[in-house]
Amino acid sequence: MSRAPSPVVATACEMQSDFGAGFSVAFTPDECQVAQMRKITATHLRRWRVPEATVDSVVVAVSELVTNGIQHGHGAIALKALCSDGVLRVEVTDGYASPAKLTTAGDDDLSGRGLFLVAVLAHDWGVSDGGRTTWCEFRLSSGRTW
């Protein structure tokens, strides 16, 4: 008997305040959501007039963090981005209490480089919320870009 695939659901909301612009998306853990989260992120960043080179770096980071959440997390996943005071912060919460760790992949390994890419592309990264949330921050050019 084959198992029916779980429904793929994404619910997004946009945020705007005196502190900046942002969005959040909650979705079921499914590999097809990685591409969708990249598209949602790129669309918002372009609307906020984030420089294209930074958009590309953030989209790679989102792809890696969401993929980690899907592969290692438990339950629904949340992606959140907030652009404020020249900093763009991305958070992925996956419900898994073990914090993400930077590892060294071997030359022949097919995976294990995601957090290394995030660390190289972002200004800073880390984990919070008892290990359930992995975040990264990108510095933006001076002035408001949203």
Reported as a single tens digit per residue, the pLDDT across 35-62 is: 999 999 999 999 999 999 999 999 999 9
Out of 16-20, 72-76, 116-120, which region has the weakest mean confidence (pLDDT)? 16-20
Residue 143: pLDDT over 80: no
- What is the reported pLDDT for 11? 54
**Interacting residues of 71 by C-beta distance below 8 A, sequence separation 6+:** none
Q: Which residues pair with 21 in a beta bridge?
A: 16, 83
Instruction: Enter the pTM of the model.
Output: 0.81
Place 5 in a pLDDT band, splitting at 50, 70 and 90. Answer: very low
Residues 74, 33: Cα–Cα separation, whole Å: 15
